[in-house]
Amino acid sequence: MRYDVIIIGGGPAGLGVAIKASERGKRALIIEREKRLGGILKQCVHDGFGLLRFGEKLTGPEYAHRDVVTALGMGAEALTGSFVISITKKEGEYFVATTSERGLRSDSAPALVFATGCRERTARQVNIHGTRPAGVLTAGSCQHLVNLKGLLPGKKAVILGSGDIGLIMARRLTLEGAEVAGVFEAKGEPGGLQRNIRQCLDDYGIPLRMKTTVVEVYGDKRVEAVRVAPVDDDMRPVSAGEIIPCDLLVVSVGLIPENELQTSLGLTLENGTRGVAVDQYMMCVDREGVYVVGNALHVHDLVDFVTEGAMTAGSDLGSGRERQLIKIDTKNLSYIVPQYFDVSAPAQKSVFYMRSPRSMRRGVLKVFADGVEVLKKRLVNVRPPEMIRLECAVAPVDSLEITLEEESV
């Protein structure tokens, strides 16, 4: 079938694009490999979703449900249980072949959206050695077993990584009757949102130990213990550390955008985000008509921003801009999305998402268009895990620069 846009991935990012595209009368097809739409949100049974967008504290499934109902209600079509096996381009049209239990199928559209989400870094990818028993799980995998399958993978857990999923799983496991011996973080600062540290650890008396990592796993059939050791700034162990008996090691050590389909199309990835480079409408810099949204583009901490970025892409589909791209210069940022700016687009509000490389009590964000300061914004409690969102109406001609500076208190 021919569509105006094919969206690969039916999580919040894909749904956001579909809603906006359908609103504009575009025929959208969502391809989702699982049987249900909603992506990873379906297993996120905790609340806190939608605070910015709806002013309500929703659970993940509730948030997803609203978007599924809206998108399908507006006429977006969804192919669930379908897996993309190839993408080819012929005369400006993208042909997407999928497999499902119904057979093989090919659909096409002049616009393509990657909303493929991200995957978790594994225990082995952070240099954990020792045996390979049952009971070593990534946080997402653990969450799947507990929240969707009703199983408990262990009774005494050690959690490595203070990212949001790690924190949330510490609380979940505690609520389900397991003991969490502690959350360990190799870096000097927690990786998750402050509110999650309070609500998931402090409220339950779960200890958080910084600059300490798991170095070794013991146990033949099941985890029997892990060794944790203090590390230096380069995350190298500085002593033998101690052995903690446990039957479950949950690792929450980072998310990696799923971009194998994108790279198979020859798109290149940015170092900072491990996603592709895009303009302010989330369109790939080196491919007209291809958009990347959500965690496939860069890993978000709030779903509300995922939806916002996706809707920006949805609002641009088929606009046929004759792009004139300039690279956005930055100072003191670990990354910015978009990385490029289309100066041919009509002057309107644009949103920039960025992260600070380090924590600051106070910071100043400045935007310079063609060398002229057009916006200055004061920030408090800047932390790398908390994404900075900046809204700015700007119409540069030659250059756009965004800088972050620390302000002395």
Partner 1 sequence: MVKLSVIRKKLDRSGFTSVRAEEFNGGVRLSGELDNWEDILECGRLAVDKKHSRGVINDIALKGYTPPPPRMPALTDKALEGKTPDVLVIGGGIVGAAIARELTKLKISVLLVEKEYDVATGQSARNDGMIHAGIDIKPSSNKVKYNVRGNKLYDKLSRELDVPIERPGQLVLYTAPWQKLLYPAIKLRGALNGIPVYPVSDKKAKEFVEVPGLRFGGFMCPSAGVVSPYLMTVALAENAVVNGAEICLNTAVIGIHSNNNHIEYVDTNRGRIYPEVVVNAAGVFSDKIAEMAGDRHFTIHPRRGVEAVLDKTAFKKAKCVVGKFVISGSSGKGHTKGGGVIVTIDHNLLIGPSAHETPERENEATSAEEFEEVFDKQRLLVPKLERGDIITYFAGTRAATYEEEFVVEKSPVTDNFIQAAGIQSPGVTAAPAIAEDVRMWVKECLSAEDNPDFNPIRKGIPVVRELGESERAALIKENPDFGEVVCRCEQVTKGEILSALSSPLPVDSVDAVKRRVRAGMGRCQGGFCQPLVVQIISEKLGIPPEKVTKKGAGSEVAPYIKEGSK
Give the residues lining the site for partner 1 (CB under 8 A): 33, 81, 83, 85, 97, 99-104, 119-120, 122, 124-125, 127, 129-134, 137-138, 140-141, 144-146, 148-155, 176-177, 215-218, 220-222, 260, 263
> What stretch of H or E contains 307?
helix 303-316
The set of residues, in sequence order, having a beta carbon less than 8 Å from that of 14 and lying 6+ positions away, is 7, 8, 30, 32, 37, 39, 113, 115, 293, 294, 310
- Kindly tell me which of 152 and 390 has the beta carbon lying closer to partner 1: 152
The partner residues of 278 in beta bridges, in order of sequence, read: 284
- Kindly tell me which of 140 and 289 has the beta carbon lying closer to partner 1: 140
Q: Is 198 exposed, middle or buried (0-12, 13-18, 19+ CB in 10 A)?
A: exposed
- Kindly tell me which of 32 and 304 has the beta carbon lying closer to partner 1: 32
- Kindly tell me which of 50 and 140 has the beta carbon lying closer to partner 1: 140
CA distances from 273 to 102, 301, 335 (A): 36, 13, 7
Is-contact 25 125, C-beta < 8 A?
Answer: no
C-beta of 253: minimal distance to partner 1 in Å? Answer: 11
The beta-carbon contacts of 119-122 under 8 Å, at least 24 apart in sequence, are 119/255, 119/256, 119/258, 120/165, 120/251, 120/252, 120/253, 120/254, 120/255, 120/256, 121/251, 121/253, 121/254, 121/255, 121/256, 122/251
C-beta of 39: minimal distance to partner 1 in Å? Answer: 12
C-beta of 290: minimal distance to partner 1 in Å? Answer: 20
Q: At what angle do helices 12-23 and 303-316 cross, to 10 degrees?
A: 40
C-beta of 120: minimal distance to partner 1 in Å? Answer: 5
Tell me if residue 32 falls in helix, strand or coil: coil
Give me 54's structure tokens: 């709806």
C-beta of 123: minimal distance to partner 1 in Å? Answer: 8
- Kindly tell me which of 10 and 314 has the beta carbon lying closer to partner 1: 10
- Kindly tell me which of 120 and 164 has the beta carbon lying closer to partner 1: 120
- Kindly tell me which of 233 and 322 has the beta carbon lying closer to partner 1: 233
Instruction: Find where tokens 């670990």 sit.
Output: 334
- Kindly tell me which of 22 and 82 has the beta carbon lying closer to partner 1: 82
C-beta of 147: minimal distance to partner 1 in Å? Answer: 9
**Of the candidates 331, 292, 322, which has an alpha carbon nearest to the alpha carbon of residue 309?**
292
Q: At what angle do helices 60-73 and 12-23 cross, to 10 degrees?
A: 30
C-beta of 164: minimal distance to partner 1 in Å? Answer: 16
C-beta of 104: minimal distance to partner 1 in Å? Answer: 5
Give me 227's structure tokens: 């060794």
Burial track 151-162 (b if 16+ CB lie within 10 A, e otherwise): eebbebbbbbbb
Number of residues written out for the chain: 409
Please state whether 233 falls in left (phi above 0), alpha (psi between -120 and 50) or beta. alpha
C-beta of 34: minimal distance to partner 1 in Å? Answer: 10
- Kindly tell me which of 101 and 398 has the beta carbon lying closer to partner 1: 101
